[in-house]
Chain A
Amino acid sequence: MDVSIICVGNEWQLDDGFGPAVARHLLEEWSWPESVAVLDRGVMGYNIVPDLANCDFALVVDALDGTGHAPGTVLEFAPEDMAVSEGIMSLHDVRFADVLATAQLMGTRCAGGWCFGVQVERLGRGALDRGLSAPVAAAVEPCARAVVAYTRERLGMQITPR
């Protein structure tokens, strides 16, 4: 079984950079089997579709908002619980849920998925603002561990610390 761990977000928009930070942590701290791809996909929008087409199971890490939880809270959810955009606003506003819906309509091979994320504290407002807020930065390692635990326990993959 091929697994893609797809981490998304814009590192130049404050807490939106959570996904890439988790990707770095996963790659620096852990050794992954060949069948697992840890991907920092930034703001690639529809260019993530081929990643979904090329795996059997996708794990997703993204910044979250509107969850009702305190900033820095690590959350998990099923892909179908994500809100899709009402129509495509702009190619710059494509969310992961939109990418997933598109991939599914295209008839992708990816049969299932699970998602992790963190409630953000502050997002950028168009300017290039880099850096995670303290509670979100503190959530990088717990979230990475949750991804590792899921991949081991639910997907039966061998993952060892570096």
Chain B
Amino acid sequence: MARSTVDPITRIEGHLSIEMEVEDGKVTEAWSSGNLYRGLEHALEGRSPYDAALISERICGVCPVSHVHASSFAAEDAYGIQIPEGARLIRNLAEGGQILHSTILWFYNLAGLDYINPLNALNATAADAYEACKTYGTSAADFEGMLARLKKFAENGQLSIFSGNWFDCKDADGNSAFHLTPAEDLVGTVHYFEGIENQAKASQICAMIGGKMPHIMTSMPGGTSFVPTAEKLDEIIYRIQELKTWINQTMIPDLYMIVSRYPNLVGMGKGDGHFVSFGVLDSKSREINERYLPAGMVTVDEDGTLHIANVDVDKITEDTTHAYYENHAPLNPRDGKTKPQWPKEGKDFSNKYTWCKAPRYDGQPYQAGGIARMMAAYIRGVEPVVKLMDDAMARTGLKIQDLDCVAGRLMTRALEASYVVDKMADDVNELIALMKDGKAEYYTPAATTTGQGVGLWEAPRGALLHTETVENDVITHYQEIIPSTWNLSPKDGKGVEGPLEHMLLGTTVTDIDKPLDAVRIVHSVDPCTACACHVTEPKTGRTFSVVTSPWGVE
């Protein structure tokens, strides 16, 4: 028996570590530890719901839009507000921009380097890369230019931006764990950089609506303070069109390239078939089961039988047995507490080992994220999603019960982006029609100042809940359950592991210092846990010069 520890997990948003017990090359037990305390709820108590929405989104620089919206929904639920149609469409557009931003960033820049090896791209020729594009139907680019720049970087020893990755890992059969040909790696590398451009383009949509990004300033309980003009909508439409082209002609074909070259991703990181979606992108009816990506508690049986139940907030609890918080019976978030307690003996897997509480639904762990949303939409018969999923399953030969694994998580989330970008285009058209008719309204004031509310929504990484109790416009109680705590949850009081811990069981570990497949599984749920600072340091052997007389001769 041996221990394999990955601390920190790189290429994620935040500070997460996993520790695994490895026996005969397979994981027999796993522990997931979120290593940062947030406790933002305490900053929200004593404030108005209007301030809370803007403050609560500061919890995250990647998905702030989801937080300001979940918080606004909680306040609107407490105050009995239904926001006007114009506001619904604008908030959807900001949320959609953020979904695209997150998915692109995750697919290429976080998870992508588990499959694409830019160092191997140096061995390619541009002609072979054009051939690879034809094979997979993915977009071509200036491959000669990229090869020249890569070579120059390699000569100058500047490729260390890729050196923290595990490109030397082997599969169990002794062959390289990286399966793309040099030409495919070159295509993937060029698209990796295009991903950086396109995630920024998606983020710009949020900034145009929100005044800035991250942390948009216009969404608030009651609606939005963004009033669209033709010029602003032009800027947004142009970006939606460009993103649509790029997602469909580059990201989705690349997804199929990766899935076909890595058949081992099917069945890797298998989940237990339970999915939670609170639904995102509101439709006219404002019913969570009728959102563009609807809510639902999904179960996929081994034989492919699908079940969906409506979300019942009463059944949600959080358990603190193995988290660094005071022990108490599992609590519903409306009565939830955030009382940090660092144990005297420190981190101890038999006791407390993470800052993530353990969310449960009806006492069971549930997986959150793009796959959960797409499953709920599929079962609820959302037309474009059914078609996208059926086509993908036909193309890959996978059945619905095969999807709860790394391959399925990559596939569903990339496909989701294709659906979301189409819905954004529809929403802009609907907004323009409203504006033309002079019926676009953006804000509904509250008629009361007291109440209790729950906001159910989805961040890109999955189900998000905010709940608040308000007395005379002052919050007396606030709790959030963020998506990554569903996925990264520790074991609960009954000893049942969280979804990620469960997915890691049985994973092959060929090198306990570099458990690549385990990291692929972690990246497949796109964990997100925190924030830091980033100073510049001199390169080894170089010095910075002192500026002695900045004013020169003046």
- What total of chain A residues lie within 8 Å of the partner, measured CB to CB? 61
> Which chain A residues lie closer than 8 Å to B533 at the CB level?
9-10, 13, 16, 43, 63, 123-124
Pick the contact of A95: B193, B535, B542 (CB < 8 A). Answer: B535
Chain A 73-108 per-residue mask, 1 if CB under 8 angstroms from chain B, else 0 = 111110011111111111111111110011011110
Q: Given the complex, which residues of A lie within 8 Å of B62, measured CB to CB?
A: 91
User: Nearest CB to that of A14 among chain B residues?
Assistant: B533
Q: Is the CB of B10 within 8 A of A88?
A: yes
Closest to A123 in B: B533
Contact of A89 among B145, B164, B196 (CB under 8 A): B164
Q: How large is the interface on B (under 10, 10 to 19, 20 to 34, 35 or more residues)?
A: 35 or more
Given known A85-B164, A86-B160, contact A126–B36 (CB-CB < 8 A): yes
Q: Which residues of A contact B164 (CB under 8 A)?
A: 85-89
Is A67 a contact partner of B544 (Cβ separation < 8 A)?
yes
Residues of A within 8 A of B161 (CB): 84-85, 87-88, 98, 101-102
Q: Mark B367-395, 1 if CB is under 8 A from A, else 0.
A: 00000000000000000000000000000
Q: Which of B110, B158, B196, B551 has the most CB of A within 10 A?
A: B196
- Check A63–B535 contact: CB distance below 8 A: yes
- Whose C-beta in chain B lies nearest to the C-beta of A63? B535
Known contacts A126-B36, A145-B551; A107 and B196 CB within 8 A of each other: no
Known contacts A43-B61, A47-B203, A149-B552, A83 near B146 by CB under 8 Å: no
CA A54 – CA B551 in complex, angstroms? Answer: 29
Among B105, B110, B150, B539, the residue within 8 A (CB) of A81 is: B539
A33 proximal to B (CB < 8 A): no
> Is A93 touching B532 in the complex (CB atoms < 8 A)?
yes
Please measure, in the bound complex, the distance between the C-alpha atom of A74 and the C-alpha atom of B538, giving whole angstroms: 14
A75 and B535 in contact, given A90-B13, A91-B13 (Cβ under 8 angstroms): no
B199 CB–A CB distance under 8 Å? yes
Q: Which of chain A's residues has its CB closest to B532's CB?
A: A92
Q: At the interface, yes or no: A156 with Cβ under 8 Å from chain B?
A: no
Most chain A beta-carbon neighbours within 10 Å: one of B10, B203, B531: B531
CA distance A126 to B531 in the complex (A): 7
Interface residue B546 (Cβ < 8 Å from any Cβ of A): yes
Among B36, B149, B552, contact of A153 (Cβ-Cβ < 8 Å): B552
- CB of A116 within 8 A of chain B? yes
CB-CB contacts below 8 Å: B135-193 with A? 142, 145-146, 149-150, 153, 158, 160-165, 193
Bound CA–CA A84/B153 (angstroms): 12
Determine how close the nearest CB of chain B comes to the CB of A105; give it in whole angstroms: 5
Partner of B545, one of A75, A85, A123: A75
Name the one of B142, B203, B535, B547 contacting A76, with C-beta atoms under 8 angstroms.
Answer: B547
B 32-66 binary contact with A (CB < 8 Å = 1; else 0) = 00001000000000000000000000000110000
A96 and B551 CA atoms in complex are apart in Å by: 26
**B196 pairs with A102, CB closer than 8 A:** yes
Assuming A81-B539, A83-B538, A90-B10, is B153 touching A75 (CB within 8 A)? Answer: no
Interface residues of B in 511-554 (CB under 8 A from A): 530-540, 542-547, 550-552, 554
On whether the beta carbons of A105 and B153 are closer than 8 Å, the reply is yes
- B316 CB within 8 Å of chain A: no
Q: Does A112 contact B (CB under 8 A)?
A: no
Give chain A's interface secondary structure class: mixed
Known: A91-B105, A92-B61, A149-B550. A77 touches B10 (CB 8 A): no
Separation in Å of the B491 CB from the closest CB of chain A?
25
Instruction: Answer yes or no: B200 CB below 8 A from chain A CBs.
Output: yes
Is A137 an interface residue, CB under 8 A from the partner?
A: no
Determine whether the beta carbon of A81 is less than 8 Å from that of B535.
no
| B150, B197, B547: the one within 8 Å of A146 (CB) | B547
State whether B552 touches A105 (Cβ < 8 A). Answer: no
User: Does the CB pair A143–B550 fall under 8 Å?
Assistant: yes
On chain A, the residues within 8 Å of B8 by CB distance are 89-90
Closest approach, in angstroms, between the C-beta of B508 and any C-beta of chain A? 23
Residues of A within 8 A of B364 (CB): none
- In the complex, whether B15 has a CB less than 8 A from a CB of chain A is yes
Partner of A86, one of B61, B113, B153, B163: B163
Q: Is B120 an interface residue (CB 8 A)?
A: no
Whole-angstrom CA separation of A90 from B36 in the bound complex? 14
A75 to B62, CA, bound (A): 32
Distance from B42 Cβ to chain A, minimum over Cβ atoms (Å)? 12
Q: Which residues of chain B are within 8 angstroms of A109 by Cβ–Cβ distance?
A: none
Are A90 and B544 closer than 8 Å at their CB atoms?
Answer: no
Closest CB pairs A-B (n = 7):
A87-B164, A146-B550, A13-B533, A16-B533, A75-B544, A81-B542, A77-B544
* 25 sample A-B contacts, Cβ–Cβ < 8 Å, listed by A number: A10-B534, A16-B533, A49-B196, A50-B197, A66-B537, A67-B537, A75-B544, A75-B545, A77-B543, A80-B539, A83-B537, A87-B163, A89-B11, A89-B164, A90-B10, A92-B14, A95-B534, A95-B536, A101-B161, A105-B149, A105-B153, A116-B547, A142-B550, A145-B550, A149-B551
Which A residues fall within an 8 A CB radius of B? 8-10, 13, 16, 43, 46-47, 49-50, 62-69, 73-77, 80-98, 101-102, 104-107, 115-117, 120, 123-124, 126, 142-143, 145-146, 149, 153
* Extra inter-chain contacts (20) besides given A63-B533, A63-B535, A77-B544, CB under 8 Å: A9-B534, A16-B534, A43-B534, A50-B200, A63-B536, A69-B544, A74-B546, A76-B544, A77-B543, A83-B540, A84-B160, A88-B109, A90-B8, A90-B14, A90-B530, A93-B532, A97-B536, A101-B161, A102-B196, A149-B554
